[in-house]
Structure 1
Amino acid sequence: MGGVVLLLPDGEAESDRPPSPLSFTRLLPLGRTLARAGRPEGLVVHSVHYGSRGWNGTDARLAVDTTEAADEVVRRYGDVPVCLAGHGFGGRAALAAADHPAVQAVLAMAPWLPADEPGAEQEPVKQLVGRQVLIVHGTNDHRTDPDLSYRLAERAKKVNRNICRFEVHTDGNALRQHHAEVLALARDFVLGSLFPHPYSRPVADALAAPPPLGLRMPLAAGFGKSLRP
């Protein structure tokens, strides 16, 4: 056993209903890509099944369920590095639960984040210290605000240099228009974060660059075609 990826599907702001099957289906291509690429390293991929689909305010149920899933990984596999990979509210859960001792990397795709309102408490970032973090966001996302993920990344970069953010130009919330490139980016980041694999040049440059360059890195068309399979 070399490592574990926990896939965190999207959810809703307020709900006690069971998770949507569609939210799990949307992460299947990512899971298959990572499982196939990481098989030689002993990488295992699991989906997290929330108790319900709602974040539910200060209860932060999706983050709590993610932490409990990481606890289960430790019980089942022992001391292995874990990557939390989520979309939408799953991306928010991945960022929020990053302080679990087993978590080494966080992949947040189109993360849903609360608006920065005057007087409101900001989304925390200190839990990201010591983790490798990649945020991916489409510039035409009308469901989750890409400006909010940029501002969170900007604050996080002040306490953790190992964070980068890629922008997928003209893509929306589902990141379908450049799906192959997004999967290649995720594969590159996860393998480079959990195992002794070098990052591709764009990811290495994004991690090393100061804001705003490393937090507004464009995902180039055709990314991944020359990378390892």
Structure 2
Amino acid sequence: MNEQHDGAGLRGRVPDSPRGVVLLLHGGAESGRQRVAWWGLAPLRMVPFAMAIGSRTGHAVAVLRLKNRVRGWNGARRDPVHDARWALDRIRATLPGAPVVLVGHSMGGRVALHLAAEPDVVGVAALAPWVAGDVGRPRPGTALLLVHGTRDRITDPRRTAALADRLAASGVDVRHVSVDGGDHAMLRDAPLWQETVAGFVSELLLGRDRTS
């Protein structure tokens, strides 16, 4: 799939009759109207995750990366949320009824958590997420994976841990992974980040154990 809409873009592989879809959401900034390019650092940061998921799931799952129109969240505009909703609409039009797992980093993690209750979303993996007060209540049965490095200085791992505790206490299927010494860029222990996400996706969409 290679689609564009008003500056937003969607790229990736869609095999015949996939058993599910993974939508990867990149990071950004609190504010900024600068246009995003595919070769920018934030979109490129999601490429290794797409590759790890593809390697784990073979040709059974569609793996798509979203490029936002602009860099920032931009307050009430919530620009990346609109871009993600556009991508979900395209996925539903192309693959109606397919279960979707959202994988977001930083601002993309905030978007994924915001959209946790969207129809067809069965899982959310939020990586070093920007945790704010707009976390959506997931639909019953939706699984959440929260991963944060202990040395992150951009987003707060304590907020992620508190969110995991709060969601778990309310009955949500949430898994919290703390990466000892991990940084915001997910470069330290990169294979751990990538394989944790790939295992989560494989378990949800293919019913495979995360260690298989």
Say yes or no: TM over 0.5.
yes
1:74 aligns to 2:92 (yes or no): yes
User: 2:43 is matched with which residue?
Assistant: 24
Q: CA deviation at 1:94?
A: 0.7
User: 1:143 is matched with which residue?
Assistant: 154
User: 1:169 is matched with which residue?
Assistant: 180
Equivalent position to 2:73, from 43, 46, 55: 55
Q: Residues 159 and 10 (structure 1 numbering): CA distance in 2 closer, same or farther, change over 3 Å?
A: same
1:9 aligns to 2:26 (yes or no): yes
Alpha-carbon displacement from aligned partner over 1:92-150 (angstroms, at most 9, x marks no partner) = 11111111111111010000124xxxxxxx33342354311001000000000101111
Q: CA deviation at 1:58?
A: 2.3
Aligned equivalents of 1:99, 1:143: Cα separation in 2: 26
3-state SS in 1 of match to 2:72: coil
Alpha carbons 1:80, 1:102 under 8 Å: kept = yes
Alpha carbons 1:19, 1:50 under 8 Å: kept = yes
Q: CA deviation at 1:82?
A: 0.6
Counterpart of 1:105, as a letter, is: G
Percent of paired sites with the same residue: 28
Q: Residues 192 and 151 (structure 1 numbering): CA distance in 2 closer, same or farther, change over 3 Å?
A: same
Counterpart of 1:166, as a letter, is: V
Q: CA deviation at 1:64?
A: 2.2
| Equivalent residue runs for 1:35-54 within 5 Å | 35-40=54-59, 42-54=60-72
Aligned equivalents of 2:71, 2:140: Cα separation in 1: 27
Q: Structure 2: state its 5+ residue gaps.
A: 1-17
Alpha carbons 2:116, 2:136 under 8 Å: kept = no
Q: Residues 129 and 57 (structure 1 numbering): CA distance in 2 closer, same or farther, change over 3 Å?
A: farther
User: 2:193 is matched with which residue?
Assistant: 182
Aligned equivalents of 2:117, 2:79: Cα separation in 1: 16
User: 1:103 is matched with which residue?
Assistant: 121
Greater share of strand residues, 1 or 2?
Answer: 2
Alpha carbons 1:12, 1:53 under 8 Å: kept = yes
Deviates more, 1:14-23 or 1:93-102: 14-23
Query: When the two structures are aligned, how many residues end up with a matched partner?
Result: 193
Greater share of helix residues, 1 or 2?
Answer: 1
1:133 aligns to 2:150 (yes or no): no
Q: Structure 1: state its 5+ residue gaps.
A: 115-121, 201-227
Deviates more, 1:135-144 or 1:53-62: 53-62
